[in-house]
Amino acid sequence: MNILSTENLFKDYINGPVVSKVLKGIDFNVKKGEFLAVMGPSGSGKSTLLYQLGLIDNATSGKIILDGQSVSDLTDEEKQNIRLNSLGFVFQDYALIPELTASENVMIALMMKGYSKQKAYDISAHYLEMMGLKDRLRNLPSQLSGGEQQRVSVARAVAHKPKILFADEPTASLDSTMSEQVMSVFKELHKNGQTIVMVTHEPEYGKLTQRIVYLRDGKIENHNHKF
């Protein structure tokens, strides 16, 4: 069953008189529980595709169907609700709030969804422990290594059990040891049933997924079914 699919998706960026055609008719499917990698040259449109799929940005034309619902024609507020409640995001630069501890960074996302402070704390502690950060709950981001910060951001992204976890080059700022820690967290999440769409430049991390979709110049180049 597809949890996410697109039909003939186009994205143009318009800056004054300049129109950049970035996505050029993308038909793309993600199955429930799938761990999928998006790869391709710099500038091919990987982040742009992720932003459309994650309802962070509005496509120029085409359709996005999330868990059986067409989401293309929803209002910005409706999209925001879906983003908050059903999707999770991990970015290259962790995007943690520097003034908040590891656990507070996870809690704040949960409290925005209406969880009580105590409940949010308990969930944050559970997920941070799962990420191997049991002893780091009270650390500020500046008191954590890059790999630890990224695992906090993964905990924040999955603590509300999103239908899909999107990650845009989650290991690009990390050395190989830290990258492997983060990738083993992704593998564990996938084993527990999490659907994951991950953009990566690293062929060795692409190989950890079930399927790699290659983008080139805004189009899907081929599907590489490994199994």
Ligand X SMILES: Nc1ncnc2c1ncn2[C@@H]1O[C@H](COP(=O)(O)OP(=O)(O)OP(=O)(O)O)[C@@H](O)[C@H]1O
Binding site for Mg ion (CB under 5 A): 46-47
Residue ranges in 6-65 that form contacts with ligand X under rule CB under 6 A: 13, 15, 20, 22, 40, 42-48
CA distance 225 to 227: 6
Q: Which CB, 12 or 129, lies closer to ligand X?
A: 12
Q: Which CB, 43 or 117, lies closer to ligand X?
A: 43
Query: H helices then E strands: how many in the chain?
Result: 7, 10
Give the CB-side neighbour count of residue 161, counting CA atoms within 13 A: 5
Q: Which CB, 46 or 156, lies closer to ligand X?
A: 46
- Return the structure tokens found at 134: 């049991």
Q: Which CB, 93 or 188, lies closer to ligand X?
A: 93
Q: Dump the DSSP string for 54-94.
A: TTSS--SEEEEEETTEE-TTS-HHHHHHHHHHHEEEE-TT-
Q: Which residues contact 132 (CB under 8 A, 6 or more apart)?
A: 151, 181, 185
Select the binding partner of residue 54 from ligand X, Mg ion, none (C-beta < 5 to 8 A, by kind): none
Select the binding partner of residue 203 from ligand X, Mg ion, none (C-beta < 5 to 8 A, by kind): none
CB of 46: closest distance to Mg ion in angstroms?
5
CB of 113: closest distance to ligand X in angstroms?
29
Alpha-carbon distance values, 71 to 18, 123, 158 (Å): 28, 29, 21
Pattern 98-137, binding to ligand X, x per CB under 6 A?
Answer: ----------------------------------------
CB of 138: closest distance to ligand X in angstroms?
34
Q: Which CB, 19 or 84, lies closer to ligand X?
A: 19
CA distance 114 to 149: 25
Please choose, from the candidates 200, 184, 202, 203, the residue with its C-alpha nearest in 3D space to the C-alpha of residue 192: 184
Footprint of ligand X (CB under 6 A): 13, 15, 20, 22, 40, 42-48
